[in-house]
Amino acid sequence: MSEDKVLLQKDASDIDIDGKVVSLSELINSYKESKARKKFEKKAVTRRKNEKSLKPYQAELIKLQKHLEVHNQKMIILFEGRDAAGKGGTIRRVTRYMNEKHYRVVALGKPTEQQKGQWFYQKYVQHFPTNGEVVLFDRSWYNRAMVENVFGFCTKKEYEDFMSGVSSFEDDLVKQGMILVKLYFSVTKDEQAARFERRKTDPLRQWKLSEIDVQAQDRWDDFTQSKYDMVKRTHTHAAPWTIIRSNDKQKARLEAIKVILDSVDYDDRDDSLDYSLDPDIVVSGAREVEIMHAQRARNGKFIH
């Protein structure tokens, strides 16, 4: 009896492939590995394709930046939205090829005891841009309208004082020549939950998961109400909100860049590019309030 036949008799699940005996479990594992590898490769190709599609618009951001520098203009971009809505990833794409000497990303932590005793805007104002500079706030003074309000990190009076005065504050900034862009990234509850789950299991993302994140799903309706109140009361002609539907991260990044480009009439714009905004992704603050109001009237609660 040959050695192969002996092996086959020892384990009926063994399979002879071109004279080589392979166990069924090894064959299944090999198939799974091959499938996982193909899936990874497909994702990598898609990721490269997506990043490549952004490049013409990222080149326009460099022109915008140069325009601000030449004309001594200042620009602030606010990135607001729920946790895991895609703010950080978009900021990285916006700044990837920009001149590092003329932009800053500001992501402030919770206020210190000293800052708690200061004028509320003071800790933000000290990071404001100088002439020819762009400052991108990864969360901003609107923390008071959202996280601080939902979790009770500020008093009702502090919240109301902020809501009553922030539009005047921003109006003054714009009157003094500041270019102010306010972006709110809107993600669905199911997509947020899926992204949180990836953060739990991916060692490269676990640092992103905070205690606030863990509670975000439980406080979903509270955040939605706060969003509605914030956009309704602080969307103004001088400082409007732009809502970015961000379930599709790639589309959200591209559309956010287009919104930023549209905010400045910069020199040497490439007119061959498509700057039109996708209405399924980009919604004005005023329109978002209308949509949310209609949802509540129809369903008895907000959805977005």
pLDDT tens-place string over residues 220-270? 999 999 999 999 999 999 999 999 999 999 999 999 999 999 999 999 999
Interatomic CA distance for residues 193 and 216, integer angstroms = 9
Interatomic CA distance for residues 59 and 36, integer angstroms = 35
Closest to 216 (Cα-Cα) out of 241, 197, 240: 197
pLDDT tens-place string over residues 169-184? 999 999 999 999 999 9
Please give the sequence-ordered ranges of beta strands (E in DSSP) within 201-240, or none if there are none. Answer: none
Closest to 128 (Cα-Cα) out of 80, 169, 97, 188: 169
Spans of the chain, pLDDT less than 50:
1, 3-10
Domain that holds residue 73: 54-299
pLDDT for position 37? 73
pLDDT for position 23? 80
Q: Would you say 135 and 75 are in contact if contact means Cβ atoms under 8 Å apart?
A: yes
Report field, pTM of the whole predicted structure over 0.85 = no
pLDDT for position 204? 73
Note whether residue 8 is domain-resident. no
Interatomic CA distance for residues 281 and 252, integer angstroms = 7
The owner of tokens 């990285």 is 92
Both structure tokens of 256: 């956010």
Interatomic CA distance for residues 285 and 167, integer angstroms = 14
pLDDT for position 280? 97
Q: Tell me the CA distances in angstroms from 287 to 146, 185, 284, 293, one per residue in order.
A: 20, 15, 5, 10
Closest to 212 (Cα-Cα) out of 270, 161, 147: 147
Note whether residue 5 is domain-resident. no
pLDDT for position 6? 42
Interatomic CA distance for residues 58 and 264, integer angstroms = 14
What residues pair up with 109 in beta bridges, in sequence order?
none
The owner of tokens 């708690």 is 116
Return the number of other C-beta atoms located less than 10 Å from residue 284's C-beta.
Answer: 16
Note whether residue 77 is domain-resident. yes
Q: Would you say 226 and 152 are in contact if contact means Cβ atoms under 8 Å apart?
A: no
We report the CATH number of the domain holding residue 226 as 3.40.50.300
Both structure tokens of 135: 């400052």
pLDDT for position 302? 83
pLDDT for position 43? 63
Q: Which amino acid belongs to residue 165?
A: G
Closest to 240 (Cα-Cα) out of 197, 283, 188: 283
What total number of domains does the chain contain?
Answer: 1
Interatomic CA distance for residues 30 and 32, integer angstroms = 5
pLDDT for position 11? 55
Note whether residue 258 is domain-resident. yes
